[in-house]
């Protein structure tokens, strides 16, 4: 019997060896045109030679970032069938695709999970996911997500990132602020045993945020998947085993 097409982000996707093999193909070099800056030429050349970019296109994934979540989930098992997932900063939808496939949110069965994504950028519909177009930092945005969720979440993901300024300290502070907001939201909505995954920059997680996570989760670690470019300062903080909310949490998060 012929096999059907793979679901984007499902188990059994392109192997690391297959992705790595494409990296050994002839590299494409981009000349700097009059109207193209050196930085944009470098970005384009990197995209054209990135094996994960090509693999994402082959598998119908919205972005190479999908492989980061797939790698982390393969190792730490966050996205189980039936899980309820919130994806903060979801555009262009790569993480929503992976989450929907793995929690089976598009299935009409008792095993079906739930995926809620939010981003101020427009995101094309993702089968099995509810996408809200608004800035998560705006007043009332968190309430909209909670309303769509209709209960507790099992996983809160955050790939949110602020536009870079080129100033390392400023960029670090901006992305850490987003991570802190995401962590506070996770503490508000996660069910006991839930997980939180968020992007940070090299230099690790600020002490205040680490303290918050260690208070509320059984394990906290930093993860850098192979799909994250080696020359990038990007990494992820992963907190698992949510301990549940306490009566004092409302005062701590106020």
- Asked whether residue 26 falls in the same domain as residue 129, the answer is no
- Asked whether residue 92 falls in the same domain as residue 213, the answer is yes
Joined tokens for residue 203: 């230099």
Catalytic annotation, pick one of 27, 199, 214, 243: 199
- Asked whether residue 200 falls in the same domain as residue 74, the answer is yes
Enter the pTM of the model. 0.79
Q: Which of 7, 26, 58 represents a domain boundary (last residue)? A: 58
- Asked whether residue 112 falls in the same domain as residue 196, the answer is yes
Tell me whether residue 207 is in a domain. yes
DSSP letters spanning 113-140:
-EEEEEESS-----TTEEEEES-TTSTT
pLDDT score of 245 = 87
Q: How far apart are CA 242 and CA 192, in angstroms?
A: 5
Per-residue pLDDT of the chain (254 residues; tens, 9 = 90+): 444 445 677 765 544 544 555 444 445 454 445 555 555 545 344 544 456 556 657 776 778 889 999 999 999 999 999 999 999 999 999 999 999 999 999 987 777 999 999 999 999 999 999 999 999 999 999 999 999 999 999 999 999 988 777 777 788 788 889 999 999 999 999 999 999 999 988 766 678 889 999 999 999 999 999 988 777 778 899 999 999 987 655 555 45
pLDDT score of 172 = 79
Tell me whether residue 214 is in a domain. yes
The CATH number for 127's domain is: 3.40.50.150
Is 199 part of the annotated catalytic residue set?
yes
What domain range includes position 193? 65-253
- Asked whether residue 130 falls in the same domain as residue 230, the answer is yes
8 A C-beta contact, residue 205 and residue 176: yes
pLDDT score of 1 = 45
The C-alpha angle with vertex 131 and arms to 129 and 132, in degrees rounded to 5, equals: 150
pLDDT score of 38 = 55
- Asked whether residue 23 falls in the same domain as residue 124, the answer is no
Cα-Cα-Cα-Cα dihedral sign, residues 178, 179, 184, 189: positive
- Asked whether residue 106 falls in the same domain as residue 54, the answer is no
- Asked whether residue 211 falls in the same domain as residue 241, the answer is yes
pLDDT score of 15 = 46
- Asked whether residue 171 falls in the same domain as residue 208, the answer is yes
pLDDT score of 5 = 42
């Amino acid at each position: 019997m012929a096999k059907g097409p793979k679901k984007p982000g499902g188990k059994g996707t392109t192997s690391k060896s297959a992705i790595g093999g494409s990296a050994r193909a002839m590299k494409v070099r981009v000349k700097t045109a009059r109207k193209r800056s050196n930085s944009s030429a470098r970005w384009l050349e990197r995209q054209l030679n990135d094996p994960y970019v090509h693999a994402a296109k082959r598998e119908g994934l919205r972005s190479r970032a999908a492989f980061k979540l797939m790698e982390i989930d393969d190792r730490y098992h966050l996205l189980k069938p039936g899980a309820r997932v919130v994806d903060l900063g979801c555009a262009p939808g790569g993480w929503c695709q992976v989450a929907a496939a793995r929690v089976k949110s598009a299935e009409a069965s008792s095993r079906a999970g739930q995926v809620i994504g939010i981003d101020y950028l427009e995101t094309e519909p993702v089968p099995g996911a509810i996408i809200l177009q608004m800035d998560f930092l705006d007043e009332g945005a968190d309430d909209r997500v909670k309303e769509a969720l209709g209960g507790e979440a099992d996983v809160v993901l955050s790939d949110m990132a602020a536009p870079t300024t080129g100033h390392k300290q400023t960029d670090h502070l901006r992305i850490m602020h987003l991570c802190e907001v995401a962590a506070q939201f996770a503490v508000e909505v996660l069910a006991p045993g839930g997980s939180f995954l968020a992007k940070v920059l090299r230099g690790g997680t600020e002490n205040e945020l680490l303290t918050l996570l260690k208070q509320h989760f059984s394990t906290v670690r930093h993860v850098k998947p192979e799909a994250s470019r080696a020359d990038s300062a990007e990494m992820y903080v992963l907190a698992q085993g949510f301990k549940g909310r306490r009566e004092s949490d409302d005062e701590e998060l106020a």
